[in-house]
Amino acid sequence: MGSYCTARSANHQAGFSGNLNEYSARAFATTSCASLSEDHQKDNSVSDMLVDSFGRLHTYLRISLTERCNLRCQYCMPADGVELTPSPQLLTKAEILRLANLFVSSGVNKIRLTGGEPTVRKDIEDICLELSNLKGLKTLSMTTNGIALARKLPKLKKCGLTSVNISLDTLIPAKFEFMTRRQGHGKVMDSINAAIDLGLNPVKVNCVVMRGFNDDEICEFVELTREKPIDVRFIEFMPFDGNVWNVKKLVPYSEMLDTVMKQFTSLKRVQDHPTDTAKNFTIEGHEGRVSFITSMTEHFCAGCNRLRLLADGNFKVCLFGPSEISLRDPLRRGAEDHELREIIGAAVKRKKASHAGMFDIAKTANRPMIHIGG
């Protein structure tokens, strides 16, 4: 685990930008490399298939259930949409469950369902029920745009869903319609409240911050955490095919943090787990909390424990890496579990130490986010 600790320490030191307030808020949290190593030693069920050449343990699998979506968000896809994979080439429910079982039996303990929009899949409840019954799975989450979630959530919870991330980039309905090219702001708010009422914990609200669009709403989003157990997560704008990424639209973490600290002076960094993607903060008197996902300006690759299974059966070890390998094809050719494990393990071992950096990512061919899975 030495390489992990070294990289993590370097990232922490590199994160200090000279802003004393920022440093003070962030310095409170120190990550424990030892705790990650100890977790691995205690859990003998973790297969070598899930360990890359840098010692990172991959116990978190994101499964995209569909490429279809009921919104057309500008940062996710081009205005004219994207070409969808023909249905016969998408994974069936049985194929998803077989691959999920293979991962969980090898040591994955968390699955997140993504899309497209996962709630548009008609068999979503059945998939949740069967996944939640996999021995060894501790957490079953979903990332959703919230349009159809409120009416489906009671049954999804009964089927084993434990938490949700709901995407919402503006608190202004007119802006919502502009960004998503669809109506539905009220439905998303209803879904957030429904998740809270049903006791799902945590209820995370994902907000992609873009300069000139919603960067003036940051403090209004923070206010959502005052009386409700909401974790508002501000996400740096990331480049994907078709979303017309521009560094001028990027609002860096340091700027977002300064904006919040000026109005909420009791902002305090909490200790994060080594594999957390977010930098987490609490505010005195607030029931919820505030987080920042800093993929572009302060990457967290050293602690990455995530793998991705795309709706078409391709396997991806890095969100920003262009490399993919099909699990669908060998599965349909009759591959046995040990053969699939060899394919997965080889892909995991090829995972790089970190992504290429935002400017190189912007120039690298990668699929639209709706194909990859949110």
Q: What is the DSSP string of 305-355?
A: -EEEE-TTSEEES-SS----EESHHHHHTT--HHHHHHHHHHHHHT--SS-
**Tokens of residue 37, six digits:** 């190593």
Is the separation of the CB atoms in 61 and 309 below 8 Å?
yes
Q: Is the pLDDT of residue 31 over 60?
A: no
Q: Which residues of 302-312 are buried (b: 16+ CB within 10 A; e: fewer)?
A: bbbbbbbbbbb
The percent helix, strand, coil of the chain (3-state, each to 5) is 40, 15, 45
Average pLDDT of the chain, as a whole number = 83
Distance (Å, whole) CA 168 – CA 287: 19
Strands (E), the chain: 60-64, 110-114, 139-144, 163-167, 203-209, 230-236, 268-269, 278-282, 289-293, 306-309, 314-316, 325-326
Residues pairing with 144 in the sheet? 166
User: What CA–CA distance (Å, rounded) separates 114 from 191?
Assistant: 16
**pTM of the predicted structure, to 2 decimals:** 0.83
Residue with tokens 């996902």: 293
Number of CB atoms found within 10 A of residue 178's CB: 12
Query: Tokens 């005195």 label which residue?
Result: 284
d(CA 180, CA 186): 13
Per-residue confidence band for 191, with pLDDT thresholds at 50, 70 and 90: very high
Question: What is the domain partition of the chain in residue ranges?
Answer: 48-371
Flag the least confident range among 55-59, 183-187, 245-249: 245-249
**Residue 138 predicted with pLDDT over 50:** yes
What are 316-374's pLDDT values in tens digits? 998 767 789 999 999 999 999 999 999 999 999 999 886 545 444 444 554 555 555 55
pLDDT-derived band at 235 (thresholds 50, 70, 90) equals very high
Of the pLDDT bands very low, low, confident and very high (cuts 50, 70, 90), residue 73 is confident
Tokens representing 273 are 């787990």
Q: Which residues of 118-151 are buried (b: 16+ CB within 10 A; e: fewer)?
A: bbbbeebbebbbbbbebeebeebbbbbbbbbbbe
Topology given in CATH for the domain delimited by 48-371: TIM Barrel (3.20.20)
Please name which of 361, 324, 244 lies closest in space to residue 64, comparing C-alpha atoms: 324
The more confident residue out of 72 and 98 is: 98
Q: What is the pLDDT of residue 120?
A: 95
Share of the chain above pLDDT 70, in %: 78
Using alpha carbons only, how large is the chain's radius of gyration in Å? 20
pLDDT at 25 over 70: no
Q: Locate tokens 């957490």: which residue? A: 139
Whole-number Å distance between alpha carbons of 222 and 228: 11
Cβ neighbour number for residue 34 with a 10 Å cutoff: 11
